[in-house]
Amino acid sequence: MQLFDLHCDTLYECFETGQGLRRNTLCIDRDKTAGYDMYTQVFALFCGARPPAPVPGRRSLLDLPPEERLGALLETAQREFSANADWLMLCRDMDDWAWAKGHGRRAAFLSIEGAELLDYPGGLEQAYDAGVRLVTLAWNGRNAFACGAATDNDAGLTDRGRALVRELVRRNMVVDVSHLSEAGFWDVCLATEAPFAATHSNSRACCEHLRNLTPLQLTEIVRRGGLVGLNLYSPFLRDDGKKAGIDDVLRHADDLLARGCAGCLALGCDFDGCEDTPEGLNTVADLDALAEAMLRHGYLESTVNALFYGNAVTFFTRVLGA
């Protein structure tokens, strides 16, 4: 079985907890990926959030000056990729990815979650040179470029945000609209005709949450050959406050496939970015249970393979190139 997951916060957790990718108490490490023939993971460098209460032994990215946060996260990423080079390789393009696949390595891509991490002179250049290839324009709050849906769904991109979108496209980087306000989504569409991704978002028709995509947004992503990653966070899967199950993931997948997403549906599980995942889907090692459930549900094996792996490979090949 092959897996290409579009979003996790594991490196951020490594920074704040001091753990590493080889073995940890988190959702992703070497042993947890061992069951996949080929495993590709997009690791997000998250802009940061404070827990509801202080956690003993945990440091906070937000204690650093804003202009030092990206560098601190990149140092963690570089340390971990170096320490785990025997099994995991940072990829900057799909040539790197093909090399990793051909030499028995797992493949990693880097993303920014919250463009405020780039908000200082040379920030984007530093991120790009270090291997970042995806940028989520906003997290839940407002920054100099965009606004998260959780803060103001009617706030669009700023002039700097539109310029950032154009620059990301020029560099063959992936624009990620997950978390982005609905007005910001449509501003992205006006700023570029390039395909973009919603790396960890679900269907609002199935769960009325502002983080999920409307039918009209999904139609636009399909039209331009974009990518949508299914998110496993229970509040994005069902809106009654109950813990989600695998059947809720299937309900969203059914809806997205019915809306023409067969060629753009993928996984963006959000492991280590959310604690409340469906019963039985606790770590990356558990996703075979989701694949088996999809087959029992009546999905063709080719559809499951496309969702777990193939659609993401096609999209990344088209956007990142060699």
Cα 244 from Cα 238, distance rounded (Å): 7
Number of domains in the chain: 1
Mean pLDDT to the nearest integer, 80-106: 98
DSSP 51-84: -SS--TT---GGGS-HHHHHHHHHHHHHHHHHHT
pTM flag (> 0.95): yes
CATH number at residue 128: 3.20.20.140
How far, in Å, CA of 18 to CA of 14, rounded? 5
- Select from 319, 44, 322 the least CA-distant residue to 172: 319
Kindly report, residue by residue over 200-239, the tens digit of the pLDDT: 999 999 999 999 999 999 999 999 999 999 999 999 999 9
Among the listed residues 243, 253, 240, 233, the one whose alpha carbon sits nearest the alpha carbon of residue 308: 253
Tens-place pLDDT, residues 255-267: 999 999 999 999 9
Place of tokens 């624009």: 175
Q: How far apart are CA 276 and CA 242, in angstroms?
A: 10
Its sign, for the CA torsion 45, 50, 51, 52, is: negative
Other beta carbons within 10 Å of 25: 8
**In a 3-state reduction of DSSP, which class is residue 204?**
coil
Cα gap 69→86, rounded to integer Å? 28
Expressed as residue numbers, the domain containing 166 is 2-319
pLDDT, one tens digit per residue, over 125-140 is 999 999 999 999 999 9
pLDDT score for 53: 81
CA distances from 245 to 96, 291, 304 (A): 36, 14, 18
- The average pLDDT across 159-169 equals 98
Total Cβ atoms within 10 A of residue 158? 17
Indicate the pLDDT class of residue 322, thresholds 50, 70 and 90: low
pLDDT at 55 over 90: no
CA distances from 96 to 99, 123, 283 (A): 5, 24, 26
Quick: pLDDT tens for 266-276.
999 999 999 89
Q: Rounded to an integer, what distance in angstroms lies between the CA atom of residue 123 and that of residue 145? A: 13
The C-alpha atoms of residue 31 and residue 64 are separated, in whole angstroms, by: 32
